[in-house]
Amino acid sequence: MQEEQRPTSASIAQVATSSESGDRLTGEAALEHDMDKTIVRLNTATEGQPLFILHGAGGGILVMQKVAQKIKRPVYGVQDTPEAPITGTLDHLSGFYLSKIKERQPLGPYLIGGFSFGGWPSFGIISKPLTS
């Protein structure tokens, strides 16, 4: 995974996320808590259908944080993590990311996009039957 710049305290303070137990985390604790996960909340919006944006070639999602903060719906970054099968096929990677998205949002419809390279696995996701 290509290394991104570490987030600053100011940029981290703009992000909020929910932990697995449903507790609300904010500020630096929020981003630090989720940076080892595949799906990471990138903004504080609570209304509307979530948007999932897949990572670029570097694997990270912090480059999308400023844009996500301007969007008036929940935005999640889908990032490369050690459990992601990045050495397999694009179809396998797309299936893995779809399963992670379904963990966050079990029922569709889904709003899915990709940043740079992320367009390829995004296309792979939308090409799959969402019922599987």
Given 116, 122, 127, 132, which residue is catalytic? 116
43 and 69 Cβ atoms separated by less than 8 Å: yes
Catalytic site residue 11?
Answer: no
Count CB atoms within 10 A of the CB of residue 86: 15
State how far the Cα of 10 lies from the Cα of 123, in Å rounded to an integer: 33
Q: In 3D, which of 121, 118, 102 has the Cα closest to residue 110?
A: 102
Active site residues: 116
